[in-house]
Amino acid sequence: MAHPRYPYRHSAPDRIMGHADMFVLYDGSTVAADMKSIDAAADAFDAALVHPDSHAFLWIDLLQPSHEDLDELASRFGLHPLAVEDAIEAHQRPKFERYGATDFMVLRPAALTINKRPADGEDPARPDFSVEVGETHAFIGDRFLIVIRHSPRDDDAKVRDAFEADPRFAAFPQFSALYRLLDHVVDCYGPIIRMLEDFSDSLEEQIFTGTPARSKDVFQLSRGIIEVERAVSPLTDLMAALFATLKEQGAPDELMRGMRDVADHVRASAEHLERLRSLLREIFTVNATMISEQQNEDMRRMNELSIQQNEQMKKISAWAAMLFFPSLVAGTYGMNFEHMPELHWALGYPFAIALMVAGCAVLWRIFKKVGWL
């Protein structure tokens, strides 16, 4: 049964935990147990913590959990109600906040979808694409990490493999796992930004060769930059808050270096996006100018054509008027009324011809003087 407020989620009785959800209990970086439900994972975690020398770490990863699932997580792991509310509502900006003993992080992973490849003869740097930005929430507690994803993902296996392959930070497994998750999300921005740069460079080359770009291409580039920028821009403040927490927790230098590397990638992505923003403004300005000039040129040609048509119409009207006068004279004398003195006049015919010629000459002179001929 769909939840009345969140129709894309399902209430607990109808929702079956499947392969999209992960409940893994680690002993250090080694998998100790793989559960199928929140209760089973919480019970196993509590049992593992009983041992004084335990290195237990619980990693829960859920895809679009229901309201009831989040309430259960909050009850079993002591999650703050405000953080749970954010996880339910979604549509959050990337951020890092502290709620007592539990930290809460929001990330916006991005993925590039190529809807249509360029056809033969078209610029290969300009495919029909879309940038899809998801949303991932993470609760970081004492030896547990709970990840809530609001969009389908295919990267959990890569992140988990990277965590299991690096046992250096056994004392801080929650931050080690968070580091792998954050590193993967930030690294995914790189290929998207490079594609946007190739796309913008292609548009720039076209525009500066004198050919305006299609409005669809400019809009597509703009939307892609905006989507990625919304995900990347807040990460600078997020990383600063995370560093403060890591220092407070006494995280090892090697883990701090890894986080600094992620922060460097964030800064590099932000700088690339700023360059793309600047280039996009130039493309907008130059392309709008070129389109305006092209429209002005089209209007000039239309005006010239209209003037030419007007000149032709003047000539046609003038010749029609000159031909109409002889027709008027001939039609008048062709009516054959009985009382028409000119019909019996010896000079009637020459007079009619002379009248036609004189009338045409007068009209020709008038039209010539006013510029119609």
pLDDT digits (tens, 9 = 90+) for 37-66: 999 999 999 998 888 778 899 999 998 898
Binned at pLDDT 50, 70 and 90, residue 372 comes out as: confident
Residue 103, pLDDT score: 94
pLDDT digits (tens, 9 = 90+) for 256-272: 999 999 999 999 999 99
The answer to whether 60 and 38 are in contact (CB under 8 A) is yes
Burial of 101 (0-12, 13-18, 19+ CB in 10 A): exposed
Is the predicted pLDDT of residue 14 greater than 50, yes or no? no
Is the predicted pLDDT of residue 222 greater than 80, yes or no? yes
Element (H, E) at 12: none
Q: In 3-state terms, what secondary structure has residue 373?
A: coil
User: Residue 110 and residue 196: Cα distance in Å, rounded?
Assistant: 13
User: Residue 116 and residue 227: Cα distance in Å, rounded?
Assistant: 19
Is the predicted pLDDT of residue 315 greater than 50, yes or no? yes
The answer to whether 190 and 265 are in contact (CB under 8 A) is yes
Strand partners, 222: none
Greater confidence, 338 or 295? 295
Q: In 3-state terms, what secondary structure has residue 110?
A: strand
pTM for the structure as a whole:
0.72
User: Residue 205 and residue 198: Cα distance in Å, rounded?
Assistant: 11
DSSP for residue 10: B
Residue 13, pLDDT score: 37
Both tokens assigned to 174 = 């929650």
Is the predicted pLDDT of residue 9 greater than 50, yes or no? no
Pairing relationship of beta strands 22-27 and 56-63 according to DSSP bridges: antiparallel
Q: What is the DSSP string of 93-108?
A: PSEEEEETTEEEEEE-
Greater confidence, 209 or 133? 133
Q: In 3-state terms, what secondary structure has residue 144?
A: strand
The answer to whether 280 and 133 are in contact (CB under 8 A) is no
175-196 mean pLDDT: 93
